[in-house]
Amino acid sequence: MEARLLVVVCRLVLEFLLQAESTRVELVPEKIAGFWKEVAVASDQNLVLKAQRRVEGLFLTFSGRNVTVKAVYNSSGSCMTERSVGSERDAAGEFAFPGNREIHVMDTDYERYTILKLSVLWQGTNFHVLKYFTRSLENEDEPGFWRFREMTADQGLYMLARHGRCAELLKEGLV
């Protein structure tokens, strides 16, 4: 009787492990290369939301284990860009940047949306922000946004301007 129960328990555990294995998606960071429009930002640290420069879009370029992030933002009417180069950690989808900054790819379907977690260690405190991006300038892709809200349900949120011209210029390669 006890032996049979043990077999049943073992089978359940095994099934659980196999299921967990099959739902774990192998991330291919290079596939998120290219343009992304920043649509929404969430953080449980209010300070982070307030201090954020309102980035409108990113262009990611991969080279070996390096990633170059070109960010565009509207600075008193002109579109400014800022570049930084990070390198991939041992864990896929985690990139370290100068100045104790990190980017972690949380979720993506490569083609429509990406959710990134940005962290910075500043004066002994770790600050985090989750950002939701879409490939498209117009279509904010509801299913991806729903996943973003699931991850950030208990956090402060702000949505970015719908028609930032700077994102458009970055997408077109004009900045």
Counting contacts by CB under 6 A, is residue 8 touching ligand NAG? no
Q: How many other CB atoms sit within 10 Å of the CB of residue 8?
A: 10
Minimum separation from the CB atom of position 96 to ligand NAG (A):
11
**CA gap 58, 175 in Å, rounded:** 11
Minimum separation from the CB atom of position 158 to ligand NAG (A):
15
Phi and psi dihedrals of 95, rounded to 5? Answer: -125, 135
Task: Give the residue with the Cβ less far from ligand NAG, 34 or 143.
Answer: 34
- Residue 41 CA from chain centroid, whole number: 10
Task: Give the residue with the Cβ less far from ligand NAG, 11 or 31.
Answer: 31
Residues 61-90 that bind ligand NAG (CB under 6 A): 63-64, 66, 74, 77, 79, 85, 87
The helix/strand/coil state of 135 is coil
Q: How many CA atoms lie within 13 A of 162 on its CB side?
A: 4
Give the total of residues touching ligand NAG (CB under 6 A): 11
Phi and psi dihedrals of 96, rounded to 5? Answer: -105, 135
Counting contacts by CB under 6 A, is residue 164 touching ligand NAG? yes
Contacts with ligand NAG, residue ranges (CB under 6 A) = 63-64, 66, 74, 77, 79, 85, 87, 164-166
